[in-house]
């Protein structure tokens, strides 16, 4: 049995964090919260700023100070898909104000230029490479190691979403371990595997303060999944609670729970599922899955989590074949479906396909055409 270290969104209150720690303490597994991460809506940090409204530097300073007092690492995020022109004098002033007020233990960054800027200002500040950077190969890792060799304090990294699905993950883990870098992997994200729009989508978020505006990438993603719901069992950035042990055996010790914009009750449920490594409800309950307005992801999609076969039984197949086989099996047994009114699904050529679009899918297609 391996020690599982969870990295969770900052919950911003002592009672909230203590609840999460109690959940881990009561688990039959060897699990702990190793780190909390977050940001306030001053500079962009990988999400539209209205998702983080209400948070202040004073709140962050007090919460991070409490975390440090109980030996939990604090991680501040500057992980938007920044362009070089974003680094204005005002940006740098705000950055310094944040770092010197909140005093985080480590910074998560996605931009190489920003890493160099921060190293110039704070040469001893540890850096975590964000998943937004998109690291999933040895070649990309070499670029990060070049920075480390120049004296920049690169301490850790969070892998690309696709790494939860890539069948050569173990080789990448072995290579990273040779470098001495720490690393983590996401567990409850919901990207399509090998999504061609990932980078462009992050750039879009960098230029937005609101998440309720039309998002062509998001709508395209949701439309694709509605049309091919077998993708739900093999989303990139997703590890089911029951599969934590398998990934631990591959060499992963640190698991990142996403959901900075989610309510406290949701985060408590998700941390409980991963701390106990089991969940008997709808798999979509645990994901940060954001879909266009009008309906929630768990109301639209249903996957009976405890009926999904363990990933160790599916790892021998390619990601596409694994999704097809498992998605079809679950659909046939009634454990996977799309709750879109008036929709009809069937199995065609061995995979679940939409035969008649429902009301929600039709509305997405109409909106996309009108945008």
pLDDT digits (tens, 9 = 90+) for 196-216: 989 888 877 766 665 566 678
Q: Where are the alpha helices (DSSP H) in the chain?
A: 14-25, 57-69, 89-102, 112-121, 138-149, 169-179, 198-206, 216-227, 244-250, 264-276, 297-300, 311-314, 319-333, 359-370
In a domain, 205, yes or no: yes
pLDDT value, residue 363: 87
User: CA-based angle 223:169:23, to the nearest 5?
Assistant: 75
Instruction: For residue 75, tell me if it sits in a domain.
Output: yes
Residue 284 counted as domain residue? no
Answer whether residue 351 is part of any domain.
no
Does residue 365 form part of some domain? no
On whether residue 92 sits in a domain, the answer given is: yes
CATH of the domain at 64: 3.20.20.70
pLDDT in tens, 307-327: 999 999 999 999 999 999 999
60 in any annotated domain: yes
**334: closest CA among 360, 309, 302, 311?**
302
Kindly tell me if the per-residue pLDDT of 185 is higher than 90: yes
Q: Does any domain span residue 13?
A: yes
Contact 158, 184 (CB under 8 A): yes
Q: Count the domains in the chain.
A: 1
pLDDT digits (tens, 9 = 90+) for 27-85: 999 999 999 999 998 887 766 555 666 789 999 999 999 999 999 999 999 998 888 88
State which residues form the domain around 197.
Answer: 4-223+235-278
């Amino acid at each position: 049995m391996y020690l599982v270290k969870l990295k969770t969104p900052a919950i911003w209150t002592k009672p909230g964090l203590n609840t999460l720690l109690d959940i881990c303490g009561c688990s039959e597994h060897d699990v702990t919260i190793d780190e909390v991460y977050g940001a306030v809506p001053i500079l962009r940090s990988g999400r539209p700023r209205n998702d983080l409204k209400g948070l202040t530097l004073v709140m962050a300073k007090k919460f991070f100070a409490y975390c440090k007092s109980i030996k939990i690492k604090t991680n501040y995020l500057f992980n938007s898909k920044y362009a070089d022109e974003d680094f204005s004098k005002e940006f740098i002033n705000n950055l310094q104000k944040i770092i010197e007020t909140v005093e985080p233990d480590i910074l998560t960054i996605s931009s190489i230029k920003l890493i160099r800027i921060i190293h110039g200002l704070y040469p001893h500040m540890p850096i975590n490479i964000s998943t937004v950077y998109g690291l999933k190969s040895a070649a990309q890792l070499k670029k990060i190691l070049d920075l480390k060799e120049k004296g920049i304090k690169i301490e850790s990294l969070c892998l690309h979403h696709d790494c939860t699905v890539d069948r050569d993950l173990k080789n990448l883990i072995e290579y990273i371990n040779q470098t001495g870098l720490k690393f983590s992997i996401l567990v409850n994200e919901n990207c399509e595997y090998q999504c061609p729009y990932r980078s462009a989508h992050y750039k879009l978020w960098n230029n937005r303060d609101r998440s309720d505006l039309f998002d062509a990438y998001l709508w395209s993603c949701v439309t694709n999944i509605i049309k091919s719901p077998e993708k739900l069992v093999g989303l990139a950035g997703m590890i089911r609670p029951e599969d934590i042990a398998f990934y631990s055996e591959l060499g992963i010790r640190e698991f990142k729970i996403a959901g900075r914009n989610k309510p406290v009750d949701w985060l408590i449920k998700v941390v409980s599922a991963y701390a106990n490594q089991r969940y008997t409800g709808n798999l979509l309950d645990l994901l940060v899955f954001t879909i266009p307005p009008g309906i929630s992801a768990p109301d639209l999609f249903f996957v009976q989590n405890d009926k999904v076969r363990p990933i160790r039984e599916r790892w021998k197949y390619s990601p596409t074949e694994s999704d097809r086989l498992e998605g079809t099996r679950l659909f046939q047994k009634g454990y996977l479906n799309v709750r879109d009114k008036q929709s009809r699904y069937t199995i065609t050529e061995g995979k679940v396909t939409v035969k008649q679009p429902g009301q929600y899918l039709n509305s997405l297609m109409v909106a996309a055409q009108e945008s």
